[in-house]
Amino acid sequence: MSTKVLMVCLGNICRSPLAHGILESKIEPEMQVKVDSAGTAAWHSGKQPDERSIAIAKQNGIDISNQKARQFTVEDFNAFDYIYVMDQSNYKDVMKLAPNDATRAKVEIILNEIYPEENREVPDPYYGGTSGFTTVYNLLDQACDKIIHKLKNAK
Ligand code: 4NP
């Protein structure tokens, strides 16, 4: 049985597609980990990631251009083992939909993997320049290293 990880942000075009691509790039085949991403909002459903996310991923050897945005749904609580959100607002939106304690326990703010219990946020880069995407990439890269370590040790 594979372990399933879902990355969640607001639009599913900037941060969570990067988290999705970065984590996927670090998985070794024997780990049997599947990754997906979603947005709490439906505004960009069906769209490719933001071109600035595609560009920063490409600079780091990762192709995320085939991803398509979709909205987070309540079914995701059953389909995934770990649900990582980017900020407090995503956390609130996802937790509002969680049916019980078991599903609530699957939800974690992603930077808590690097800074435990500090509830730091991956800043929303949408309205800023390209440097915001570099910051986001570097934070998510570190967080995904921790997630890989955790998944390896969980087996
Ligand atoms: P994301 O960024 O949540 O990292 O995908 C955003 C994308 C779009 C919008 C806001 C944030 N928007 O307002 O359309």
Say whether pLDDT at 81 is over 80: yes
Residue 67 CB: number of other CB atoms within 10 A?
A: 23
Residues with CB under 6 A from ligand 1: 9-15, 39, 43, 124, 126
Q: Pick the closest to residue 81 from 9, 151, 153, 28 (CA basis).
A: 151
Q: Which CATH number does 3-154 carry?
A: 3.40.50.2300
The residues that are catalytic are: 9, 15, 124
Asked whether the beta carbons of 4 and 36 are under 8 A apart, the reply is yes
> Whole-prediction pTM value?
0.98
Tokens 């780091």, located at residue? 60
DSSP letter for 110, please: G
Pocket test for ligand 1, best of 10, 48, 85 (most atoms within 8 A of CB): 10
Confidence band for 54, pLDDT divided at 50, 70 and 90: very high
Average pLDDT, the chain: 97
Confidence band for 100, pLDDT divided at 50, 70 and 90: very high
Which protein residue's CA is at the shortest distance from atom 7 of ligand 1? 11
Please give the Cα distance from 106 to 48 (Å, whole number): 27
Please give the Cα distance from 109 to 121 (Å, whole number): 8
**Whole-number percent of the chain with pLDDT over 90:** 97
Please give the Cα distance from 123 to 151 (Å, whole number): 25
